[in-house]
Structure 1
Amino acid sequence: MDKEALRLAYRKRRRELSREQIRDFSAEMTAQFLEYLKSHQEIRHIHLFLPIDRFHEVDTFPLFYTLQEKGYFLYTSQVNKTADQLETLDISGIRGFESGDWGIPVPIDAKKCAPDSIQMVLIPLLAFDVKGFRIGYGKGYYDKFLAGLDQCTMKVGLSFFLPERTIPTEPHDIPLDLCIVPGQIFHFNT
């Protein structure tokens, strides 16, 4: 299957998940991620995506609030339409969100910052393969964002579904270091 066919197939699979399944799978992946962090205590600066409800994404809000309570330095991104790229926001101390363009959650009073301190990025995706390559929404925002980060920054996917055997890749694609699915963590040799 080509990338666009995979995007369509996985969007359909996500739409078929009930709200309860999304909630339960998200809670399970949150618990797995927090357990993973216990053995990686050097990681204190984490960038996470905020879930877009209409895309039926993994709910990262419970994870955000847990990490915030534990004193992690937290970041997210928003699209700069003029520059056609993601801008990093420090959300460590924010207390709320509002709905922005496209129904994307926007942190209230977040401050723009450089992404230099980020040690780990949680990445939204539609599908991934056994080598750690992912398919996103096709705009290339995360590809550009990841390319600008330190090569040591851990790249972590969150997916409701198991990996494909292989997906089409392009020279600029940056593979994940690991991907969390309900009940399992896939590690990749990157």
Structure 2
Amino acid sequence: MNFDKHQLRIFYKELRAALSDEELEEKSLQIANRVKSFLSQRNELVHFHLFFPIPKQREINTYPIKDFLEAKGDFIYTSLVEPDTLQMKTLFLKPKTGFQLDKWGIPVPKDFELASNEPIQVVFVPLLAFDKSGHRIGFGKGYYDVFLNTLDPEVLKIGLSFFPPELSIPSESHDISLDYCITPENMITF
């Protein structure tokens, strides 16, 4: 495809909307299993930043990844967007915490502590599309680009996607590329 970012966003939102609930859960579990396989060879990684799915956006169900990391005794972080800014606060999740949806439908943990970004070793990055070079397209608000810029460059950036990569997508100088992307079928290294 040779679309601009806006067209790609529309296209991939429509592809997601076309997934049945069963397909969404099946693909999410396949992705979670690939995450488990990837991490089984990397025991040194214990601090993970994880996004949680916004139901109306038909995002990947990351709760099985959370449950896996929690069972291993790893440290899990997520973010909370500060209203009126592009900043995201980092939250350390307390074990077994529940979630509630905020007014935008974003899952927010009920039991957390504000935390530093410093310990984070891996960020699981939400996206709509990505390409064979590790460029990605999100929802266009720029929250993750701003957040990723605050992290040590050595932090692994792992995209999670229902769909295979595009050949190429437009990128800008401020865009942060992925190190890996996990789809239901593959683990792609950039």
Q: Establish whether TM, by shorter chain, passes 0.5.
A: yes
What SS does structure 2 have at the residue aligned with 1:46? strand
What SS does structure 2 have at the residue aligned with 1:101? coil
Query: Is 1:94–1:108's contact at 8 Å kept on the other side of the alignment?
Result: no
Q: Percent identity?
A: 45
Query: Is 1:143–1:172's contact at 8 Å kept on the other side of the alignment?
Result: yes
- Residue equivalent to 2:80: 78
Q: TM-score, normalised by structure 2?
A: 0.97
> Deviation at 1:109?
2.0
Show structure 1 runs of 5+ residues with no match: none
Aligned-partner Cα distance in 2 for 1:145–1:84: 8
What SS does structure 1 have at the residue aligned with 2:13? helix
> Deviation at 1:82?
4.0
- Residue equivalent to 1:64: 66
What SS does structure 2 have at the residue aligned with 1:175? coil
Query: Is 2:94–2:113's contact at 8 Å kept on the other side of the alignment?
Result: no
Letter of the 1:70 counterpart: K
Aligned-partner Cα distance in 2 for 1:35–1:142: 25
CA RMSD of aligned residues (A): 0.9
- Residue equivalent to 1:171: 173
Aligned-partner Cα distance in 2 for 1:83–1:15: 28
Aligned-partner Cα distance in 2 for 1:112–1:157: 24
Aligned-partner Cα distance in 1 for 2:152–2:36: 23
> Deviation at 1:84?
2.8
> Deviation at 1:91?
0.8
Show structure 2 runs of 5+ residues with no match: none
What SS does structure 1 have at the residue aligned with 2:104? helix
Does 2:133 match 1:147? no
Query: Is 2:129–2:161's contact at 8 Å kept on the other side of the alignment?
Result: yes
Aligned-partner Cα distance in 1 for 2:140–2:38: 29
Q: TM-score, normalised by structure 1?
A: 0.97
